[in-house]
Amino acid sequence: MLQVNNIIAEKDRYITGLKKRNISNAEELLNEVIQLDESRKSTQQELDSNLAEANSIAKQIGALMKEGKKDEAEKIKARTSELKQLNKELGEKLNGIQDDLTQKLYNIPNVPNESVPAGNTDEDNVEIKKVGEVPTLNDGAMAHWDLIKKHDIIDFDLGIKITGAGFPVYKGKGARLQRALVNYFLDEAVKAGYSEVQPPIVVNEASGYGTGQLPDKEGQMYHIGEENLFLIPTAEVPITNLYRDVILNEQDLPVKHAGFTPCFRREAGSWGAHVRGLNRLHQFDKVEIVQVRKPEESYQALEEMCAHVEHLLSSLNLPYRILRLCGGDLGFTSALTFDFEVYSAAQGKWLEVSSVSNFETYQANRLKLRYKDENKKSILLHTLNGSAMALPRIIAAILENNQDESGINIPEVLHSYTGFNRI
């Protein structure tokens, strides 16, 4: 959530930034916020003035009663009753203005970093790096949705029978490969200094608002109506919310957590090869890395997180590229995001497997997440997160890129985790 003081102080920069997101009425939105804030301040001043007057009158009444001037005390009591009613009305008005202001801020996305390119869709994202050789496959090479049937390692039909489309059943070596990747990614995160946590996979509404999934993405989350809870779309939500309403000490920083969870997303996508098989699921497994950093350290931390994801992809011997997302493709809460895509040889296209983002103070302001510096000053922190990694498309690329006429070779780095080197 944007900070009102910053909107006022840097209004022109914020307008320019929001226009990168193709928000044509950015100036109007920010002016509405400023007007609500001015109304909030004037109402608060009036209320404070009335409270001060009421307090003064109370002291006068007390003094008059001590002096035995009961009649005079009774005369000014009428003003006390009048002020009490006025203050009740002002308090209700103030609460209404604050609610309107908060809701208005909830619906304005984060302001992009200056390095974010302008653009409308993912076609306007900027490729900044490409690594690895695209493999040459044998004649008759299959896409992963055919390979998994041939080797009986993932079953979509059973998933449909049990639950519905987008909920596959992993079997035999498919299940072991899935578990191997989770354990490998977690072990590498721990080596990189992340503390492992296993958070709940169901969160309350306050957690959804804290990291910005609400009110922006409620349509993409599975909702448990009776309890008003949500299945998580990513481990970012529960892990970052560990620090909701927390003031950290400077020596507690940096915070670095990694966690594995199933993830749930209602988005169905459209029919076609680009969402076929493992390319888009309603339930999938992911290892997430999350950092909480001082503002001046967060962009260095973003580089470190990107380097960590690169290490994982390189170790799996997967060709990959890195994209800087344009304003039109940037997530609602992000100030800067880098997407990582691996090349799927059998499909002949790039598949997104990770996003690494810096949210600056946007989430921290919602979460009321701060730290106290050496002067005991309370400062909003920066939050960051990244997929390290999401499994389905990684598995798709491993299966497709490493196939030959008689089977599929498993990346060497996973052999000690799978217990086999070939499917």
Residue 366, classified by CB atoms within 10 Å of its CB into exposed (0-12), middle (13-18) or buried (19+), is buried
Short-list 201, 211, 206, 203, CA closest to 332:
211
| 288 annotated ligand-binding residue | yes
| 296 annotated ligand-binding residue | no
| 266 annotated ligand-binding residue | yes
CA dist., res. 282 & res. 54, Å (int)? 59
DSSP per-residue string spanning 182-227 = HHHHHHHHHHTTPEE----SEEEHHHHHHHT-TTTSGGGS-EETTT
HEC string of 284-332? EEEEEEEEEECHHHHHHHHHHHHHHHHHHHHHCCCCEEEEECCHHHCCC
- The pair of structure tokens assigned to 373 is 């510096």
Cβ proximity of 110 and 335 under 8 Å: yes
Distances (CA, A) of 355 to 134, 305, 322, 324: 22, 10, 10, 10
| 324 annotated ligand-binding residue | no
| 385 annotated ligand-binding residue | yes
CA 125-127-133 angle, 5° bins: 140
| 40 annotated ligand-binding residue | no
- The pair of structure tokens assigned to 215 is 């009110």
| 353 annotated ligand-binding residue | yes
Alpha carbons within 13 angstroms on the beta-carbon side of residue 378 total 8
| Cα torsion 46, 47, 48, 51: sign | positive
| 355 annotated ligand-binding residue | yes
Short-list 197, 240, 205, CA closest to 333:
240
| 195 annotated ligand-binding residue | no
For 419: left if phi > 0, alpha if psi spans -120 to 50, otherwise beta; the answer is left
Q: Which residues pair with 264 in a beta bridge?
A: 283
Alpha carbons within 13 angstroms on the beta-carbon side of residue 41 total 8
CA dist., res. 61 & res. 47, Å (int)? 21
CA dist., res. 333 & res. 347, Å (int)? 32
Residues contributing to the annotated binding site? 234, 265-267, 288, 352-355, 385
Residues contributing to the annotated binding site for ATP? 265-267, 352-355
Residues contributing to the annotated binding site for L-serine? 234, 265, 288, 385
